[in-house]
Amino acid sequence: MKQQVKISKVKGNPKNPRIIKNDKFKTLKNSIRTMPGYMKLRPVIVDVDMMVLGGNMRLKASIDLGKKEIWTDMFTQADCDDMNKIAIEEERETKTYLEYCDAIIIKDNVSSGEWDWAILGNEWNTIKITEWGLDVWENQDDRNELNAEAEWTGMPEFNNEDLTPKRQLIISFRNEDDIKVFANLIKQNITDKTKSLWYPEAIQEKQFDKLYTDES
């Protein structure tokens, strides 16, 4: 749903893992300033709470330029339902509204700007963002400098555990009491922020704090 709204109503996303260099930010501001229809063609994508999913830098640039209004395109529950209908028809996994929102944040930024690796490491699920098209630990500058074969010389062999689930189900609850009963049954904590879970419970390790040391 595309509409022009007061810029004060739009909230920047604290989970946004993308940053932009000063020269590119100036270029972006210039594009917005010199092309009146730019933001209508590339509106900021927001969720139902007016939180930015795609376009944090366009929002920041518009604020810097003193804009009072901004074009937005809201991702709604109806959009989520439509996407799930297509997923079912194509025999793909369906997603919750929040899962689609997270996917949009990453997918919208895959080809522009630079990544804030600290936010990616702390706030995002490595497996998910890899599925969405981002090579998580591959920095372009580092990739140009590294000799892959030399880097792996002397490293210990390891087996990469297959984390693909055997089967996934969507479970619906009629009320909060049913959620509590189910959580007690599987002995796991389910909160308003719970998007998915494993049974039996699986602990997903964060990879950013892992370091190989040669103990030989």
Q: How many domains does the chain have?
A: 1
Instruction: Please give the model's pTM, rounded to 2 decimal places.
Output: 0.51
- CB within 8 A of 89, min separation 6: which ones? none
- CB within 8 A of 197, min separation 6: which ones? 188, 190
Establish if 12 belongs to a structural domain: yes
The identity of residue 49, as a single letter, is D
For residue 200, cis peptide bond before it (omega within 30 degrees of 0): yes
Establish if 14 belongs to a structural domain: yes
Q: Given this model, what pLDDT does residue 50 score? A: 95
Establish if 35 belongs to a structural domain: yes
Q: Given this model, what pLDDT does residue 46 score? A: 95
Strand partners, 51: 11
Establish if 68 belongs to a structural domain: yes
* Tokens found for residue 136: 């998580």
Mean pLDDT of 183-192: 89
- CB within 8 A of 102, min separation 6: which ones? 124, 128
pLDDT tens for 112-171 read 545 554 555 555 555 554 544 444 444 444 444 445 555 556 555 655 566 677 787 788
CA distance 182 to 148: 47
Establish if 186 belongs to a structural domain: no
Establish if 197 belongs to a structural domain: no
Nearest in space to 40 (alpha carbons), one of 77, 16, 63, 72: 72
Q: Given this model, what pLDDT does residue 107 score? A: 76
Establish if 171 belongs to a structural domain: no
- Which residues constitute the domain of residue 130? 2-137
pLDDT tens for 30-89 read 888 888 788 888 899 999 999 999 888 889 999 999 999 999 999 999 999 999 999 999
DSSP track, 44-60:
EEE-TT-BEEE-HHHHH
Establish if 122 belongs to a structural domain: yes
Least confident of 26-30, 57-61, 102-106, 203-207: 203-207
Mean pLDDT of 6-27: 82
CA distance 22 to 25: 5
